[in-house]
Amino acid sequence: MIAVSRRVAELPTYTKRSPSPSDSIRKQTPKPFLTSTPPTSPRRDAFPQDKHTFALLSSPLGRYEQVAPQVFALTVAQLDQALQQEAKLPLTETKDMFPWLHGIHRDNWAQRDFFRWHDRVDASSPRTYRGIALVHAGKPSTGLLEGAIGADDLLDPKRDAFVDLDAVHGVSLRNFHTQQVKCAMLSDVVLYTSSDAREDVAIMLNTAQRIVRAQQQFSEQWHGNGPSYNVYVIEDTFPVIERDFPHLVNIKRDGTRMPSSRDFIELEQLEMRKMSQASEISQNVYLGCDCDWIENSTVQPDGKPPREQFGIHIRCEDYVAIPSIRNNEIRDSGDARHVLECVFPSSGCLTSPGPEEEQDLLDFCDWMYKQTHEQASSGKAQTTVSSSTIYGGVFAETSAQNSMTPAKQTRNVLLTCKDGYTETSLLALCYLVYAEGLSVDQAFLKLHLDKRRNFYCFSDDVATLLALEPLLLNASPVPRAQVLTGLHQTPLPWFQSSVGQQFSGNLPSRIMDHLYLGNLEHADNLAMLKALGITRILSVGEHPAWQMQLRHLDSRLKPEAHLWVRQIQDDGIDPLAKQIERCLEFIEEGFKQGQRTLVHCRVGVSRSASICIADVVRRLALPLPEAYLMVRARRLNVIIQPNLRFMYELLDWTQHELTKHRQAAGDATQELVPRNMTWPALASRIAALNRHYISGSG
């Protein structure tokens, strides 16, 4: 193990540790300021009520030697012990951290006025929080510790001060991207470098002294006589950390990600894949995501490789035309030994289709039906395709042969798109209307309830489907009498809500069988909720329009239970924690009775989403990051956005909730379950995940 002080032995201004055998081969240097005394920590009696005001990195955890002015060295073992202890502590109380964490820039009078800080221009930062901030010196692309922030992201490039990320204009309640920096200002800072090169160690020590000066500047600006924070450098090399403390590593020096690392983009994709993996929606027709078709996919229907399971792959994409059967753009012998691939327009792309497009759509549905149902063949010579592809309506043929077959073999058809629930929805619903003789609303219910598929429809798709419905039913292979009988089985027109709003095409999101997440529009459409089997409604902060007309409602539509949680706004001020237990008790009551509950607010992304996250934590005993990603994935194309305060409260609530789970399982340990992620790390990952979609990468 090479200590930092040994790695800098040739640097004239820094000292090395007490002699050890390996030091004999190192050049000796003067000791201008060596000390074995631990750095000064704030007096605990100064803040006797709080656990966060003493330094986790001071005695009795270890004694540290000074390697630069006000910079001390520590081992990774000491750091690991301190991080474990920090994870078991309760979070600093929300009232102490907010609204400061929202960002209170001195010149942002809109934000100050919103949080009623206009008379507290010189208000100090929280004094009851003290964290540990991991900082990577230099510009790393590999060799990263979990939860670390780059020094360039922490420090102002023009001066020795922390970068100020607080917005100067406007009101913002979701500044997740600022949390690592803001919390680092209130933390003991631990620097490391993934390189053992002399120049990189020098950069690290220089960065450490810049942070010392930044801490001094911050203290003078914000809280003068408050806690003073310490700066440390890890004396172990990164290979030692990888070998002995792999749980601290996010990305190794060779660029590979540790299996235990938590990349929210990848984890969300995995949640989406689990939710949208291929399943049958009609005879021999499957709906899935692109990963169901990729070679060596881990998601394989019936345990077979995708290209053995499916004979036809239809991928829905933007900017393509419907393959024309009339113009022989699909020429196929029907030989099930060969695989055919083609593309079809995505949902949202077929708005106001003309007569030719309507006919092409009918023909395409008819072609799919014939591919998936046994029929007598005409016996005519046809072209056989092998690994053929149709893109943009253009057929690409790779091989051909003539064959005469007495009967056509059926094929399994797989419809896919990137996420498995958006681009394929229009084709899937059109096919169900055609192949099974269903009305559009019945097709929605069959796909969602009977086939248990989560899907997303655009409002334009609803108009297109309703316009195509008569044509699809008229051409349907289902006997006409059976079609007409089925159309009268829907007692309530739930495509029109109880307050006169047109159905937008989006069902509330199924988080779990008993739990749905939606918006105010969903809550107003009682006929739709009835059709979905949702009999209980939890209104978080907003009340449905029908509540004022309850006496005049059709008795068939009235929910069996309704709870309106008042006085909780999505304003970054109102607390969530006080309402969680009441809400979860209401959901649990319905769960025990086998009833489904819709949880909604106005948009269904913050207040109600937070309650659904809490229910997932309690029911599945999941840590907050996993519960958050599960709810986020199941909200489909609507990105949940609990405000900063709600997420902070949820992190605190989750720690206590999981502790209760452990105790209920017979573990008498009194200390809290360790958080699996710090608040700054959680916030930064949420920010990165949001940027992924804002940038268009998602």
Give 205-234 pLDDT, tens digit per residue: 999 999 999 999 998 876 566 678 999 999
The mean of the pLDDT values for the chain is 82
Gap between the Cα atoms of 271 and 634, Å rounded: 8
C-alpha closest to that of 132 among 174, 80, 177, 93: 80
Q: Which of 40-54, 170-184, 373-387 has the highest mean pLDDT?
A: 170-184
The strands making up 340-345's β-sheet, listed across from edge to edge, are 279-282, 285-289, 413-417, 312-317, 340-345, 388-391, 394-396
- What is the 3-state secondary structure of 498-567? CCCCECCCCCCEEEECCEEEECHHHHHCHHHHHHCCEEEEEEECCCCHHHHHHHHCCCCCCCCEEEEECC
- Inform me whether the pLDDT recorded for 480 exceeds 50: yes
Binned at pLDDT 50, 70 and 90, residue 111 comes out as confident
Check residue 119 and give its pLDDT.
52
Check residue 226 and give its pLDDT.
67
Contact 178, 104 (CB under 8 A): no
C-alpha closest to that of 179 among 685, 684, 688, 686: 684
Q: Which of 29-33, 251-255, 385-389 has the highest mean pLDDT?
A: 251-255
Q: Which of 18-32, 58-72, 424-438 has the highest mean pLDDT?
A: 424-438
- Inform me whether the pLDDT recorded for 499 exceeds 80: no
What is the arithmetic mean of pLDDT over 598-617?
98
Q: What are 410's two structure tokens? A: 């059926």
Judging by beta carbons within 10 Å of its beta carbon (0-12, 13-18, 19+), is residue 569 exposed, middle or buried? Answer: middle
C-alpha closest to that of 229 among 371, 52, 448: 52
Q: 161 forms bridges with which residues in the sheet?
A: none
Give 75-90 pLDDT, tens digit per residue: 999 999 999 999 999 9
Gap between the Cα atoms of 523 and 538, Å rounded: 9
- The CA distances from residue 493 to 152, 426, 487, 553, in Å, are 58, 20, 11, 15
Judged by average pLDDT, the poorest of 112-116, 596-600, 621-625 is 112-116
Judging by beta carbons within 10 Å of its beta carbon (0-12, 13-18, 19+), is residue 499 exposed, middle or buried? Answer: middle
Give DSSP secondary structure letters for 245-309.
-GGGEEE-TTSPBPTT---HHHHHHHHHHHHH--EEEETTEEEEEGGGTSTT-S--GGGS-HHHH
Domains and CATH numbers, the chain: 66-248 (no CATH), 264-373+410-487 (3.90.190.10), 509-676 (3.90.190.10)
- Inform me whether the pLDDT recorded for 46 exceeds 50: no
Cβ burial 202-231 (10 Å sphere, 16+ → b, else e): bbbbebbebbbbbbeebbebbeeebbebbb
At which residue do the structure tokens 């992924």 appear?
692
Check residue 366 and give its pLDDT.
96
Torsion, Cα of 315, 316, 322, 328 (10° steps): 0
Q: What percent of the chain has pLDDT over 90?
A: 60
Give 327-371 pLDDT, tens digit per residue: 777 766 556 567 888 999 999 998 888 999 999 999 999 999 999
Binned at pLDDT 50, 70 and 90, residue 21 comes out as very low
Compute and round to an integer the Cα radius of gyration of the chain: 31
Which amino acid appears at position 587 of this protein? I
Task: With H, G, I as helix, E, B as strand and everything else as coil, classify residue 475.
Answer: helix
How many whole angstroms from its chain centre is CA 72?
A: 38
Check residue 326 and give its pLDDT.
80
Gap between the Cα atoms of 184 and 370, Å rounded: 64
Give 32-43 pLDDT, tens digit per residue: 222 333 333 333
Which is more confidently placed, 373 or 546? 373
Q: 344 forms bridges with which residues in the sheet?
A: 316
H-type helices in 43-119, by residue range? 76-88, 94-97, 109-114
Check residue 572 and give its pLDDT.
94
- Inform me whether the pLDDT recorded for 502 exceeds 70: no
Contact 232, 71 (CB under 8 A): yes
Gap between the Cα atoms of 181 and 217, Å rounded: 15
- C-alpha torsion sign, points 578, 582, 585, 590: negative
Tally of residues, the chain: 698
Q: What are 1's two structure tokens? A: 């193990």
Backbone angles phi, psi at 414, to 5 degrees: -115, 120
What is the arithmetic mean of pLDDT over 362-381?
77
Check residue 142 and give its pLDDT.
81
Cβ within 8 Å of residue 666, ≥6 positions away: none
Task: With H, G, I as helix, E, B as strand and everything else as coil, classify residue 474.
Answer: helix
Cβ burial 533-542 (10 Å sphere, 16+ → b, else e): ebbbbbbbbb
- Inform me whether the pLDDT recorded for 396 exceeds 50: no
Gap between the Cα atoms of 681 and 132, Å rounded: 11
Check residue 450 and give its pLDDT.
97
Binned at pLDDT 50, 70 and 90, residue 553 comes out as confident
Which is more confidently placed, 535 or 392? 535
How many whole angstroms from its chain centre is CA 76?
A: 31
What is the arithmetic mean of pLDDT over 317-321?
93
- Inform me whether the pLDDT recorded for 393 exceeds 90: no
Judged by average pLDDT, the poorest of 67-71, 297-301, 549-553 is 297-301
Binned at pLDDT 50, 70 and 90, residue 492 comes out as low
Give 554-563 pLDDT, tens digit per residue: 777 889 999 9
C-alpha closest to that of 80 among 145, 34, 175: 145
- The CA distances from residue 145 to 149, 185, 260, 589, in Å, are 9, 19, 12, 43
- C-alpha torsion sign, points 82, 84, 88, 92: positive
How many whole angstroms from its chain centre is CA 376?
A: 49
Contact 163, 154 (CB under 8 A): yes
What is the arithmetic mean of pLDDT over 572-599?
97
Check residue 384 and give its pLDDT.
33
Q: What are 444's two structure tokens? A: 């929605």
Check residue 666 and give its pLDDT.
86
Cβ burial 3-35 (10 Å sphere, 16+ → b, else e): bbbbbbbebeebbbbeeeeebeebeebeeeeee
- Inform me whether the pLDDT recorded for 269 exceeds 70: yes
Cβ within 8 Å of residue 7, ≥6 positions away: 196, 198, 201, 237
Judged by average pLDDT, the poorest of 37-46, 163-172, 461-470, 643-652 is 37-46
- The CA distances from residue 438 to 138, 358, 442, 488, in Å, are 62, 18, 6, 10
- Inform me whether the pLDDT recorded for 587 exceeds 80: yes
Task: With H, G, I as helix, E, B as strand and everything else as coil, classify residue 78.
Answer: helix
Contact 527, 493 (CB under 8 A): yes
What is the arithmetic mean of pLDDT over 52-61?
53
Binned at pLDDT 50, 70 and 90, residue 546 comes out as confident
Cβ within 8 Å of residue 583, ≥6 positions away: 538, 540, 563, 565, 599, 611, 614
Task: With H, G, I as helix, E, B as strand and everything else as coil, classify residue 149.
Answer: strand
Task: With H, G, I as helix, E, B as strand and everything else as coil, classify residue 647.
Answer: helix
- Inform me whether the pLDDT recorded for 6 exceeds 50: no
Check residue 123 and give its pLDDT.
55
Judged by average pLDDT, the poorest of 293-302, 456-465, 480-489 is 293-302
- Inform me whether the pLDDT recorded for 13 exceeds 70: no
- Inform me whether the pLDDT recorded for 391 exceeds 70: no
- Inform me whether the pLDDT recorded for 626 exceeds 60: yes
Which is more confidently placed, 238 or 6? 238
Contact 598, 537 (CB under 8 A): yes
At which residue do the structure tokens 């292979």 appear?
477
Check residue 490 and give its pLDDT.
54
